[in-house]
Structure 1
């Protein structure tokens, strides 16, 4: 089969497509014939050796995929050959076939196409875990989403609306903000123009947002945290802006607020049943149209480095996928 191979921790452009042996499922494993694989920021960090997990070299990047099960290993009873499914494996998805533990695979309803499903586990799983499990977001509360037009950001906008929140989407251009409005944002803020704190103060009548979803970090973190409402929850999701902020700890004290870490991958490993419940709820929302995930571009396997570069340069809206 063909697979994208990382032979050294380097820039995405160093990745190459190679012919490798077909995988064979062992006990408790399945083979997924990959129809689409989601492209995520951690994939790029992993390729460059900047992620908290460093796979042994050489390896095939790609954390999530969707397609059709082509083989099942001994002991797998809840999945069958020919069944449509999605999987989150952390690595291996940028290939024609993916070896996956059966516990990481979820069947797909016919109403959810593979390119949409391929982008659900990480981006939507992260946002679901963040807003439901970590923030306890309630109907009627105000949610601020930073980096709202990106993969996890747009997922947070849609999930926030599905949960009944008032959603303020913040992004760096009017084009991105229009996309957020099309996917349910009630209010928008262009943080490349004007004062973020003053805009949030005006939009919340001085109260501030109840929950802040931050996958960006960098220079946006402190003004956002200074804007949070009393008893608010600040979700630390990632640092796509490039810098890990150093926040004054008097700020959560003065607002009775909480800084809450979000590490979906570890949550999914430690509590797979709770993660499965979240993903099943998400699939239901996608199937009935409550949530409309955006797949903005599809890349062939050979152009995966381009997709990763676009992600690193924050030129991506919604989700992009690789179609081996």
Structure 2
């Protein structure tokens, strides 16, 4: 089967946004600006955390790792999408398609695992403050980040190897801007396709739902602890340390639910493509904005870093 697979299909055609011929230039400019902002925003966050000693804490270590995963996730998909918007040649080789799927799943699920780790960090900080330095030691934090990357890599490898060991037959046109699972499964044939589709979907939904439930559990304990704080000022201060993370979680899982839980039907390949941009382009675009605006400590550190570049003599 693997030999037949490789001999039958050597490349795919990404249909992308070609069904919107009059909007492709507008899409290119919009997505390019959003992508550049995503890169600059995450690079600014990473640089600020690196340069500011007061931010060398577990929470900001995890945020730095999250920014790295976000940059790599968007780099795996968006440059190719932008190139296709300006090109008439939308072909992608078999191996390039498999690589794109592997890296997008790896970095995407690493992102989800890191959000879960950040939720655990906030839980320990608020519910067990006296044990925080022990539970969130540098070695422990490094292990949590490493396991997040390992978990994302394992899911990326399992999903990609499963999909690309199927037999592709008939059309090689992918009705999407990237090598996503559902459009690729429509090009396969064989008796086990429906079983594979169910298995891959179960792995993805279980991982995402598991992360979401762990985050919700963390915040259930956090809210209980916050409500026990006697002063209003104390409650606001405790909640402010969670606001940016909680907002990003809502955005992340809100758009993820649109992708994974949308009704399956033949109705609209165009709508599927446009909906895919919410998770691929919009979520990474919003994340650095939320962390920059909702996290007062990070925002002040960014101002300090920016002003030191403009007026070094005043610093």
TM-score (norm 2): 0.25
Which structure's CA Rg is the greater one?
2
Give the number of the structure whose residues are more often strand, by fraction: 1
Structure with the larger RCO, 1 or 2 (CA within 8 Å, 6+ apart): 2
More helix by share: 2
